[in-house]
Amino acid sequence: MIRPATPDDVPTIARLIRSLAEYERLSDRVVFDQAKLLEHLFGERRYAEVLLAEVNSVVAGFALFFHNYSTFQGKPGMYLEDLFVMPEFRGKGLGKSLLVALAKVAVERGCGSVRWVVLKWNEPGIRFYESLGASAMNEWTEYRLAGDPLKKVAAMDVETTKNAEK
């Protein structure tokens, strides 16, 4: 069964995020605060949404997503930040069920696409996505501004930056 998460699910979502980070060999990067996660998912300004996959009332996986916007399509889009199924529940179609449910939400909301990234070494994930008709966007390079560089750019004086470019 696939269902939208509720505020009561936040501890479970936190556990799933940590499990995903372990699978992706990125546990050292998990620094979120569970109270902030609750606020960001269910507060006045919701930054993301979560669908949960359950088997016999046990949460087995999740999809965390949020909206973006395509200026070329002139439509909202959806960005799938995380799709993860606990190892003991894999091979039962839960990942596909989560992606199907997400696609339905995207179509119902008039989205032009659903996008995500996958680690280059994650061959099972790549095969799974391609089996559903997803295609790699090899002509694009993803960039990220985070941590101290993000703070540095945010603190820049635009006028000083303009003068430095001349």
Question: CB of 48 within 8 A of CB of 66?
Answer: yes
Mean pLDDT throughout 15-35? 95
| Domain at 2-165: CATH code | 3.40.630.30
Residue 144 confidence (pLDDT) = 83
Crossing angle for the helix pair 34-42 and 10-23, to the nearest 10 degrees = 110
Nearest to 114 by CA among 141, 137, 80: 80
Catalytic residue positions? Answer: 129
| Residues 101-159 pLDDT 10s | 999 999 999 999 999 999 888 898 899 899 999 998 888 888 888 889 999 999 998 76
- CB contact burial 21-31 (16+ within 10 A = b; e otherwise): bebbeeeeeee
Residue 9 confidence (pLDDT) = 98
Q: What are the boundaries of each domain within the chain?
A: 2-165
